[in-house]
Every structure is written in C-alpha cells, then in structure tokens.
Structure 1
Amino acid sequence: MLKVVFHEAYMARYPTGAVETPARVRSIMGNLQGCYEVVVPRPASKEDLLRAHTPDHLTQVQLEGKAVWEAAVLAAGGALCAARLTAQSRQPVFAAVRPPGHHAGRNRYGGFCFFNNMAVSLLALLHDGTVKRAAVIDFDMHRGDGTAEIFNGDSRCLFLDVSSAEKECFVQNIAGFLDALPLVDIIGISAGFDMHLKDWGGCLSNSDYHHIGRLLGETARRKAFGRVFAVLEGGYMPHELGKAVYAFCRGLEGKELIDVTPMTRP
C-alpha cells in the first residue's frame, strides 16, 4: 500500500517564486488524504545535507532567512523519510514536499529549489549501506540540472532526465529507459507535473501520469525489489496538480484509475 510523506509546515509561506505556493500541496493532500496513510517527516540533518552540498551552500541558504531554511531542511527530510520508508517496506511512497529540489547543485540554488531533496535522500542511503545502486528518473518539464551535477561521475546512480524529450515521445522515452534498466536497489522519481495539459508544458493528461506511474511501479517490482519513491518537483496549476498526482500514485501502486480523460497518445 502506498504511503504519503507530508508535514503541515509544507503549507507555510516563505520567500520564493510567485507560482510556488502552498496551494500546490494543499491541492495534492486534498486528493490523497484519506486514501493513503500519511507519515510525518523530520528535518534533514546538516550531515545529511553536506553529502550533497558544500558548507558554503548551506551558509548561503541560511542567509535567505529562517523561513526558507526551515522549509528547505524539512523538504529534504521528507525526501529522506520517503526513501527510508520504501527501503524498509518495499512499498511505494510519495513525498508531497515543498520547496522542490532538482535544480539545486552542490554549491548553487535557484528555480524555487534550495536543497536537492533527491540527492540528499539517496546519498544518505548509499552512505549507510542501505542500498548500493540507485536509479533516478526525472520527468519534470525542466531539466534536473542540479541532480545531474551532483551524481555526475557517480557509478552508484543511473540518471534519466526526460525533460529534453520531444512531447510526442515523452512517455516512450521513460519506457525505453526502464526496459534497459539493470537491477538496482531503489528507484527515486523526481516527479514534476508541469508537463500537464493544463500546465506550462501542455502535453500530458492524468491518464498519461497514471501510465507513467504504472510503468515505474512495475519496473520497481521487477528490478528494484519494490523499492520506489517519488518526490514532488514542479506543477504549478493547483486545481489540476492534485488530480494528476493522485492519478500517478494510483499507477505507481498498480491500481486502475476511473473517470479520467483518455490518454493523449496510444
């Protein structure tokens, strides 16, 4: 049974981009709460953060103010909580966190991202020996440049960024990567929903996200011992975001979705 990682503090306001609002996670939880068990995370430790970032990076985020620091540390902690949950239970987990993280590099931040939530979580599991090899699939509209930078040259982590794919082959690109994926210990998903038909990308329907979730869930059960977790990245139309995330989660746990728009592609 899929679990959701969420903290009420993810709905706090802090200085960020105008579109990265608390309404995003409010919409998600409005669709997920009551359907799944909710797990409340703790903030990431500085030790956790320093596996992905430099000391100077941490200092610079602190200079953004207490509200930003507390939000960013808690988001990284939420991703780490999700990774540990799936490592233990071998069941899918969705982390409904904000701020997002995939643009944050070792010593830089931007694009609404302060700490790289995905990198913090996987590097912790790799460090303590919980896993030895991981895969990351990023299907946000925008390139996960921070994640690519942090894992560049690290043979322990395979990385697929789908952002550069043509719209017509977005889902097929994910399927092809998953077909070729060797056995790994865990799959992390940077789950951005800004490619939605009614979001910036104008491409994917809720049924597409359900299909993507099903592909990833099935692959995790065959090639990653069932260990798969997703961390929220983009998606900026709150009314649509919650429905898209729900569709994705249903797919990730291998369940059907009823009353959604037909897929945009066969």
Structure 2
Amino acid sequence: METGLITSKTFLDHVTGLNHVEAPERVTSILEQLKLTNLLDSLTEIQPGTPSRLIPELVHVPEYVDRVEESCINGHPYIDTSDNPICKNSYEVALLATSAVTIGVDWIFSGKINNAMAIVRPPGHHAEKERAMGFCLFNNVSIAARYAQKEHGAEKVLIIDFDVHHGNGTQHIFEEDSTVLYVSLHRYPFYPGTGNKDETGRGRGLGMTINYPLDANTGDDNYLDIVNHSLSDKVLKFQPDFIILSSGFDAHEMDPLGGMNVTTQGFGTMTEIFVNLAEECCGGRLLSVLEGGYNLKALAESVEIHLRKLSGIIT
C-alpha cells in the first residue's frame, strides 16, 4: 500500500504559550520518531496545497474566517475563549492545515496513494461553524469531507473520531446531513459535554450521528469490542465512498488529559480494523487527520504504529 504523509515545518509556527499542551513539539516529536525508526523513508511525503480562505469556507461562515484572520493580525492572545490561544501566525498555519487535508483528498482520489495521514496543527474537531473551541480554529476533517464530496463526487463520507474528547464541531456541522456519517468514541461525561448516546442527528440527518460514550479508564478491550462489532456493522451497512479518521491519541494510558487506558498497540489494532473497512467499502480510500495527544512519547509511538498499519509496513 502506498501511504502519504502530509505535513510542514510551518505547523510549528502556531505558538500557544509556555507549557501549553497543544505545542509545536507535538509535530517535531512525531517526525523525529518516524526518522528514528526509518519509517519516514517508506512514506510518500506530500507538501500541503496552496492555502485559500475558500477551503475553510466549505464549512465555516465567512464572517468567522474573517474574525480568525483579524484576531491574529491584531495580536490577540486568544479567540472566543481562553482555551483557543493564537499568535500572529495562527491564521496562516490553520489555513495551511486545511490545504493539507484537501491535498490529501486529491492524492487519494487520483489513485497516486491508497491512504494518507495529515500531521497538522492546530487540531480541528471542536471548531464550530462560527467559533473556535478546545484548541481548534478550523474543522479540518469536516472540510476534508465536504471537499471530497464537492471536488471528487464522494456521495457518502464516513468520519470516525477516536479522540478522547467528543468532536462537537464535527457533529454539529453534519447533524442535519444524510450524506455524512459521524461516529465518535470518547470519554463521557467529559469536555466538551456533548456526545451522549441520544445525540443521533436531526432532520434529514437523524441516525447519521453515532456516539459511543465511554467511562473514564476505558482501555483496549472495550474500544476494540466496539470497533470490531457495533461500529464495523454500522460502517458496512452505510458503505461509504471515503473514510476520514479524526485521529486523536489522547485516550492513551500515558496522556496527561485523557484519563483513559488505551495502549499504543491498541491504537494499532484499531487502525488495522479501519484500514480493512476502507478496503471492503471504498477501495482503501482513507485519510487520517491528527487531532489530540499530549504526552509526546505516547503520541509519537502511537502515530508510528498508526502509520505502520496504514502502510502495511510492520517492521
């Protein structure tokens, strides 16, 4: 399998402040791990596409995109709430993240690669149509889904979110949409407070949101039981044309925020299942997008095994 890796040194330029967990070192630790293990040489490195504000406007209102740009230019320390720190570069970096996921979609649908991972920051799944939230400025996975539909004719898109925090922004963006199935496994009750089982979508999108709220300290066995059975059954019934992963690794047992017990191997096994689902449903077309994960060692090793399972390069 040919696997793409989309990233850029520019993602280090989003500076969040001293001792903030969503730090540039998250990207550098991953890349150092991939170099150390020689995995980087086996991946197809792809540069993000040309940034354009039209890309975030696929899911965000133009006024919000304006507000992000102006807040950064004017040197505001954060946008909307204090959990969204920004610097003068943050708008351009977040814009580049959206172009990274869309170039990944282009390469996958062109057949140049089977799948890809976008190692980007800031993360995106908490970002709502009109506001920032939880470290997130633009909703990268939602943008990738809409772009795949608009530019490549993907009629049905599946988003699987395994970040420890529920992806409120992604859920809300698609909650009335019958063409995008959003599935989330997350700790609950927990930040951001959404993601209970009874949140299943609205209107035409009723039934297109599937939440798996999990207790604190949940580990591999429970995650894999859900992914192997209930989740897989629902995916096979939906038969997506494209699968996107909101890949947060903060459910790792070493993560300082998550309070869960998933192991590095557990993330690898989940990834293997997702790859098999993509092969069965949509010719292997799968894009993984980095979300959370705040213990640098756990994050780097989890992303490594994630990429090994995506690429089929085990040793």
Match for 1:114 among 133, 137, 154?
137
What secondary structure sits across from 1:64 in the alignment? helix
Match of 1:227 in 2: 285
Alignment TM-score, normalising by the size of structure 1? 0.91
What secondary structure sits across from 2:55 in the alignment? helix
Equivalent runs, 1:1-266 vs 2, <5 Å: 1-15=2-16, 18-32=20-34, 33-65=40-72, 66-89=88-111, 91-163=114-186, 164-166=213-215, 167-168=218-219, 169-175=222-228, 176-181=230-235, 182-199=238-255, 200-201=257-258, 202-256=260-314
- Identical positions, percent: 28
Counterpart code for 2:175: N
Counterpart code for 2:280: R
Deviation, 1:156, is: 1.0
* Counterparts in 2 of 1:104 and 1:13: CA distance versus 1, 3 Å: closer
Aligned residue pair count: 257
Q: Measure, in 1, the Cα distance between the counterparts of 2:94 and 2:231.
A: 30
| Residues 52-82 of structure 1: CA deviation (Å, up to 9, x unaligned) | 0011211221133141101110111111122
* Counterparts in 2 of 1:129 and 1:83: CA distance versus 1, 3 Å: closer
RMSD (CA atoms): 1.7
What secondary structure sits across from 2:89 in the alignment? helix
Deviation, 1:129, is: 4.1
Counterpart code for 1:132: E
Deviation, 1:195, is: 0.7
Q: Measure, in 1, the Cα distance between the counterparts of 2:43 and 2:278.
A: 19
* Counterparts in 2 of 1:210 and 1:188: CA distance versus 1, 3 Å: same
Deviation, 1:43, is: 4.4
What secondary structure sits across from 2:214 in the alignment? coil
Deviation, 1:8, is: 1.2
Counterpart code for 2:241: D
Match of 2:80 in 1: none
Counterpart code for 2:182: F
**Which segments of 5 or more consecutive residues in structure 1 lack a partner in the other structure?**
258-266
Q: Measure, in 2, the Cα distance between the counterparts of 1:44 and 1:126.
A: 19
Counterpart code for 1:213: T
Q: Measure, in 2, the Cα distance between the counterparts of 1:13 and 1:232.
A: 15
Say which one has the larger Rg: 2
What secondary structure sits across from 1:222 in the alignment? helix
| Residues 33-55 of structure 1: CA deviation (Å, up to 9, x unaligned) | 33412101124422221120011
| Residues 72-128 of structure 1: CA deviation (Å, up to 9, x unaligned) | 101111111222222222511010001100000110112110000011111112122
Mapped contact 1:6–1:95 kept (Cα < 8 A): yes
Q: Measure, in 2, the Cα distance between the counterparts of 1:43 and 1:159.
A: 28
Q: Greater CA deviation, 22-31 or 97-106?
A: 22-31
* Counterparts in 2 of 1:194 and 1:43: CA distance versus 1, 3 Å: farther
Alignment TM-score, normalising by the size of structure 2? 0.77
**Which segments of 5 or more consecutive residues in structure 2 lack a partner in the other structure?**
35-39, 73-87, 187-212
Mapped contact 2:15–2:90 kept (Cα < 8 A): yes
Q: Measure, in 2, the Cα distance between the counterparts of 1:228 and 1:214.
A: 12
Match of 2:198 in 1: none
